Each structure stands twice: as C-alpha cells, then as structure tokens.
Amino acid sequence: MKPLVLILCTGNSCRSHLAEGILRAAAGDLVNVASAGSKPAGFVHPLAIAAMAEIGIDISGHHSKHLDEFLNQPVHTVITVCGKADQACPVFPGQVNRHHWPFDDPAHATGSEAEQMEVFRRVRDEIRRAFEAYADGLRDARK
C-alpha cells in the first residue's frame, strides 16, 4: 500500500488543493495524496481551479474536507501549508513525518479578478517549487 501524504490548511479551499494537485502530478504512483482542513470552507476556490488549469492540472473535481475524515486512516506524512492548520494539527495513526511549509493565502487577495489571479499564480508557483522538490526527494529515497 502506498503511503498517504495529507496536506492540511485551515479552509481547504486554496493552498492545500494547489499542493494536492501538484504533488499528485509530480509524485505519480509513489504516494497517495489528499488534502483537508481544520475548518473547511465547503468549496474549492474557482481561481485555484483556474490557476491549476493553466499548468495542465485539473482540480475541478476536488472538494473541501475536514481533517477528521482521516483520523482513522494510516497517514504517513502530514504537511501543513498555513500557520493555523499547523497549530490545529492532530497526530494521525501511523504518522511518520510532519512538515510545515506556510504559504500566503491567495483567497485574501484584493483588487480586480486579474490582480487576484496574479496572487493565485504566484502562490501556485511557490507551492509547485516546494512540492516538486519534495516529490524528487521521494523518488531519490526509493533508489
């Protein structure tokens, strides 16, 4: 069974979904990837979906989930992508690793939709660099 990497954010509407989509694409079949939130917003932000579509990753089928859905599953690695999720993060069964990589919340971007989209792109690209490097490390560890 592939290890589960759970990416946590407070609202599970932007950053955690960006990271989930990027890590799933970058890691291939090395790990299972999921995301959740401590206070799920109940939706995936439309600009997050659009930003990911620009790089060829479809997250339009994702949905916002509560981290409690994973409390009875063996979670190998937890990665928090916002400060509040790091503070609210429980320990999961079988958890081996925990990382905290905070990113700005693009949902708080202001201005026109074009200006907001620039923030989503910047955060997406920052997340992409971190999670593609993480996937490369997973691949190297398997050699």
Q: Would you name the residues annotated as active-site residues? A: 9, 82, 89
Question: Cα separations (Å) of 46 from 31, 62, 92?
Answer: 26, 11, 30
Residue 123 has, within 13 A of its CA and on its CB side, a CA count of 28
Two tokens, residue 12 = 């599970």
Question: Cα separations (Å) of 44 from 5, 95, 136?
Answer: 19, 26, 27
